[in-house]
Structure 1
């Protein structure tokens, strides 16, 4: 996966899309990017680029407003103000036609990266904030609290829908990266629809290397829990073997891995391969090594449903500090050694 580390913002424009208005409120000027506004946008960009729900996409062959206009800008054939207005009009038209899409500010950002230029589109749904009001009543000072429903997501909050669009080139594996989260608290028409991907962006989403790697790790753990629910010894062998292969290899061959995990048990070999295939994962997997480094940096163990244990990877493999002892009956002892200090939380 392309992990973008360098982000330099060129320009940005914000438009107001209010469902209570008859027309979108379109800006006539780019934002003046002082240090505060620059950092606000930069933090949102960086947070979205690191989000594990960021997906790869390719534009559909049909003509589409966002596709056509973004490429005009990225190829130097149009300016950001004109392009952003038309993109905002397209989103507002969808909001009015579907009737269930929340009001928002639409922020269009142009920035450069180590992989080239990108046009970012951020649908910033409003956040309810509270502020105080001060007024005099009968010559006495009164202070109250009122709500504001047009606040933008803070830099510590996650944006639900955004897109990072690249110049379309034949050598590219993908045209854009997309986040399209559904609200967990509301059972609305918006949650059931894919308007952002299908109608607005006009693209198709597919799994990238990180998605495939993550799905394989989840499927392998699911199989281990199911197959060895009452045998911690065998479960530990499976998990340790898989982690070692993830660390050592760039690619995983599921059949070969199964043979290494279960050298003397053909039944488990076949069950493992079949289970991984049933989860929609191919037999040969290209691993996302950066995601693996992050994932394996810390081991979290849920022990017999009532003990949580967090151990960093180096300590987990250091027999002088942490050791797995096999009891020969399917159970294991996890021994924490030479404790010189601990705190209670």
Structure 2
């Protein structure tokens, strides 16, 4: 997946989709992209585009209105306001017939990237905040808390969004999708991916790298609960292999990281990864570097360490010592100063 870093916003519009209303409140005007508004929208775009949960997708052959009208806009046959109203209307209809979808503002953004133009659909769910309410009766001041519902916050993380690009034959993906808290109905349909967008997610190098690392950690915790030395050796070996290789074959990996006298352990390790559809993949080095830049260790509910990857690998700063009984000591070395807080 292309790593998008260069974003230039062209225009944007926002609509209100409130479950308490009979119809969506559709905006007839583009947002005024003042410096503050531009920065607000840009911060959301940048945050989502860096999110590890962002996935590539292809539109299904049978197009939803979002697919059809987005391409009309990207081809110059429709303006953004018209497209955004179609998208907002579709989402509101889904919200009316699907229980549990929270009210939101739908932010629709047209922007250019180093890879070409895109349209962003960001579903910004409302959040509950509190303010004070002052009542004065007979010179007595009564101050109470009152909840208010607001839709926009520069701190609120977007849970669902899509970035749509022009569709061309042979491209790696049609759109990028974020769907954190997916909602699936009794027929197995996801309202955001299937009903609104009409797309299928696809796995890329980052997805496989991330899934592999997470699965290895789960397997390690399950199989080496009271064998800290074995757990540490396996974790370190996996990190080394990922750093040193462009492609991973789990059979070759198992041969390298698991001792020859542990054939059942090797068999279980391979079977576990196979069960999760991972056998061969290309390592996403950028994701790997990001993941290994910080090592978080939780020894118990009372002890937790946060160490940079460089310090963890530096024998002069940090060392794992085998006690010979399956346990280990973690030694922080050459401390000249430290602070608390």
TM-score higher than 0.5: yes
Q: CA deviation at 1:148?
A: 2.4
The normalised TM-score by structure 2 is 0.91
Aligned to 2:294: 298
User: C-alpha distance in 2, partners of 1:16/1:57?
Assistant: 27
Aligned to 2:284: 288
* Equivalences for residues 153-232 of structure 1 within 5 A: 153-182=152-181, 194-232=190-228
Single out whichever of 97-106 and 57-66 deviates more from structure 2.
97-106
**Structure 2: 5+ residue stretches without partners:** none
* Equivalences for residues 325-340 of structure 1 within 5 A: 325-340=321-336
* Equivalences for residues 41-60 of structure 1 within 5 A: 41-60=41-60
* Equivalences for residues 1-345 of structure 1 within 5 A: 1-132=1-132, 145-149=145-149, 151-182=150-181, 194-265=190-261, 266-281=263-278, 283-303=279-299, 306-345=302-341
Per-residue displacement from partner, 1:313-339 (whole Å, max 9, x unpaired)? 111111112112223332322211111
Q: Is the contact between residue 189 and residue 195 of structure 2 (CA under 8 Å) also seen in structure 1?
A: no
Q: Is the contact between residue 184 and residue 190 of structure 2 (CA under 8 Å) also seen in structure 1?
A: no
Q: Is the contact between residue 322 and residue 334 of structure 1 (CA under 8 Å) also seen in structure 2?
A: yes
Q: Is the contact between residue 13 and residue 108 of structure 2 (CA under 8 Å) also seen in structure 1?
A: yes
1:22 is paired with a residue whose SS is coil
User: C-alpha distance in 2, partners of 1:22/1:222?
Assistant: 47
**Structure 1: 5+ residue stretches without partners:** none
Q: Is the contact between residue 153 and residue 159 of structure 1 (CA under 8 Å) also seen in structure 2?
A: no
Q: CA deviation at 1:122?
A: 1.1
Q: CA deviation at 1:134?
A: 6.1
Change in CA separation of 1:19 and 1:320 when aligned onto 2, cut-off 3 Å: closer
Q: CA deviation at 1:140?
A: 8.1
Change in CA separation of 1:105 and 1:222 when aligned onto 2, cut-off 3 Å: closer
Q: CA deviation at 1:12?
A: 0.2
Give the number of equivalent residue pairs.
339
Supply the RMSD in Å over aligned alpha carbons.
Answer: 2.5
Single out whichever of 198-207 and 96-105 deviates more from structure 2.
96-105
User: C-alpha distance in 2, partners of 1:326/1:153?
Assistant: 52
Change in CA separation of 1:226 and 1:67 when aligned onto 2, cut-off 3 Å: same
The normalised TM-score by structure 1 is 0.90
Per-residue displacement from partner, 1:178-214 (whole Å, max 9, x unpaired)? 122228xxx9979x96211111111112323222111
Q: CA deviation at 1:72?
A: 0.8
2:310 is paired with a residue whose SS is helix
- Structure 1: which 4+ aligned runs deviate by more than 4 Å? 132-145, 187-190
Q: CA deviation at 1:236?
A: 1.9
Per-residue displacement from partner, 1:219-275 (whole Å, max 9, x unpaired)? 112222233223222222211111111112221111111111125233333222112
2:277 is paired with a residue whose SS is coil
User: C-alpha distance in 1, partners of 2:21/2:264?
Assistant: 64
1:343 is paired with a residue whose SS is coil
Q: Is the contact between residue 100 and residue 188 of structure 1 (CA under 8 Å) also seen in structure 2?
A: no
